[in-house]
Amino acid sequence: MKKITIHKPDDWHLHLRDGDLLKLVLPHTAKDFGRALIMPNLTPPVITTSDAESYHREIMDAVDRDMDFQPFMTLYLTEDTDPGDVEDGIAKGIVKAVKLYPAGATTNSSSGVRDFSKINETLAVLSSNSVPLCVHGEVVDGHVDIYDRETEFIERVLAPMHKDFPELKIVLEHITTQDAIDFVLNTPDNIAATITVHHLVINRNHMFKGGIRPHYYCLPIAKRETHRQHLVKVATSGNANFFLGTDSAPHAIAAKESACGCAGIFTAPVAMAILAQVFENEDALDKLEVFTSLSGAKFYGVTPNPSFLTLGKESTPVEFPASIARNELEVSIFDPEFDLNWKVID
């Protein structure tokens, strides 16, 4: 059997939710990942250091004792965020990043930022502490075509922000366009990007193949095939400024299969199997570890996980379940619609 062993991966953009959903999805990340950066878009959002401390406790209570998994907490930036509280959270070691959602850009983002001039003091705190700002990079204006929202955000918000705070570490999250790739390639190393599993696999046609397919709907929305190909190229290139953030975003099936379905794709259980396949297709299995386990750790200033993960390639396709469930709650697992021969074996 063909095998590959890598330092245990980290997921630098993950939605674990809370309550029952947290208990349902957490084991699927904790199994394959050493650490994950936990998104704060709960209802209500994780805004203060004290919110992050309680959410951290809730996650740790849900982690099995035999699992070696560490959640890294983020704060949800609002126009009323207290920069002093952010600084305290950083000093205590609980706040690993701050997340910027433009108000209305995505799931649970209504408390996000409308007037970017109101967050300057917090950006100064992040910059002087070398703590990253994670950015959902889409403008929210209804008149801007949904497929252009990332590109407009880069021009109108991100480039000026980088100019005003040249030392600020920024992660442009879940990038979907060649424009985002170019921005990161043409800025210094304090600007990085995360790439999801699903954006390496689907293009915008997947949402409409044979009918409307809500389980392929996420934000930022998948773009044209050419953009997907550029994402695959840069993810498998070994460039340290592009690393894995799955944006695994579980929603109950009923909330996805609806007249107004939620954005978000749940990939955690199949993330590493799909990535191994994508990297093998590019003849780049030797770059998988850089993307999943080394570059993000370097950007966030931590050493790679000391433990390892082994993936093996079966001669026949591996069967993965279509969904997971707990009590009444069922969440659909991302289907890449190609055979998966890889699986995590240790």
Q: Which residue is nearest to ligand NCD (CB)?
A: 264
> Is there a catalytic annotation at residue 164?
no
Residues 225-254 binding Zn ion (CB under 5 A) are: 247
For Zn ion, which is the closer residue by CB, 87 or 247? 247
Query: Does 136 engage in binding with ligand NCD (CB under 6 A)?
Result: yes
Nearer to ligand NCD, 100 or 249 (CB): 249
- Give the whole-angstrom CA distance, residue 137 versus residue 157: 8
For residue 143, what is the DSSP state?
A: T
Minimum separation from the CB atom of position 207 to ligand NCD (A): 12
264 interacts with ligand NCD by CB under 6 A: yes
Distance linking the first and last C-alpha atoms of the chain = 14
Active-site choice (32, 247, 339, 346) = 247
Judged by CB, which is closer to ligand NCD: 127, or 332? 332
Binding of ligand NCD at residue 107 (CB under 6 A)?
yes
Residues 195-204 as b or e (16 or more Cβ within 10 Å = b): bbbbbbbbbb
* CA dihedral of 215, 346, 326, 57, whole degrees rounded to 10: -100
Spatial separation of the C-alpha atoms in residues 266 and 339, rounded to whole Å: 18
41 is an interface residue for ligand NCD by CB under 6 A: yes
Contact in structure between 278 and 200 (CB atoms under 8 Å): yes
Peptide bond into 9 cis (omega under 30): no
- The phi, psi pair for 52, rounded to 5°, reads -65, -35
CB of 247 to ligand NCD, least distance (A): 5
Using CB under 6 A as the binding rule, whether residue 7 contacts ligand NCD is answered as no
Catalytically active residues are 247
Instruction: Provide the binding-site residues for ligand NCD, judged by CB under 6 A.
Output: 15, 41, 106-107, 136, 218-219, 247, 249, 263-264
